Amino acid sequence: MELIVATRNKDKCKELQALLQDLGVRIRTIGDFPGAPDVVEDGTTCEANAIKKAQSAARFTGLPAIADDTGLEVAALDGRPGVYAARYAGESATYEDNWRKLLRELNGVPVSRRQARFVTAAAIAYPDGRVQMALGTLDGVITEQPRGTGGFGYDPVFLVPEKEKTLAEMTPEEKNQVSHRARAFQRAKELLQEASHLTGV
């Protein structure tokens, strides 16, 4: 079995390949397929964006494909940036642009009101049109200053209270034990294993 990881984000590719490595299948990325269409992530939910990316990759390659989309919901900002987390500071924003905008918007908000939640939707699309969905969440607090040099995205400003570390202060192994993406992909792996047993995909 081969499985396509439907992302061109190199940081995310590396993380997803680590999360999926024990599946016993060959992991390829959509970047391995010249001419694969770019997908416009214009859905209003993470689920919609994940499904759109996975279905596009499955149709183009003829192989099962998995894609995810992650939102960041900050309570004090009425759930923003939400599904727009990756482009919060603009379409061409860097990771740092996005988290710096978030910190500016939370300037003066006390720690007791800086609760946040990551939500990852992982979609598996099969060439026959079937789609399966797995969700993962991680609750935390937005810090007042960035901490740590690992990870990507909002990791430097997302504190996991029970670990007393931001995601950027964790090793990749530590992060992959607790993260929203790890939780979503653990469930996705179970779905893939069930599908392979039932259908021989």
What CATH number should be reported for the domain holding residue 96?
A: 3.90.950.10
Q: What percent of the chain shows pLDDT beyond 90? A: 83
> Is residue 128 over pLDDT 60?
yes
Binding residues for substrate: 7-12, 70, 152-155, 175, 180-181
pLDDT at residue 198, rounded to an integer = 47
Binding residues for Mg(2+): 69
Phi-psi region of 44 (alpha: psi -120 to 50; beta: other; left: phi over 0): alpha
pTM above 0.75, yes or no: yes
Q: State the total domains in the chain.
A: 1
Name 78's Cβ contacts closer than 8 Å, sequence gap at least 6.
none
What are the catalytic residues? 69
162-181: average pLDDT? 95
Q: Give the structural domain span for 80.
A: 2-199
Characterize 128-158 residue by residue with b for buried, 16 or more Cβ atoms within 10 angstroms of its Cβ, and e for exposed: eeeebbbbbebebbbbbebbbebbebbbbbb
Q: What percent of the chain shows pLDDT beyond 70? A: 97
pLDDT at residue 23, rounded to an integer = 86
- pLDDT band for position 22 (50/70/90)? confident
Name 128's Cβ contacts closer than 8 Å, sequence gap at least 6.
none
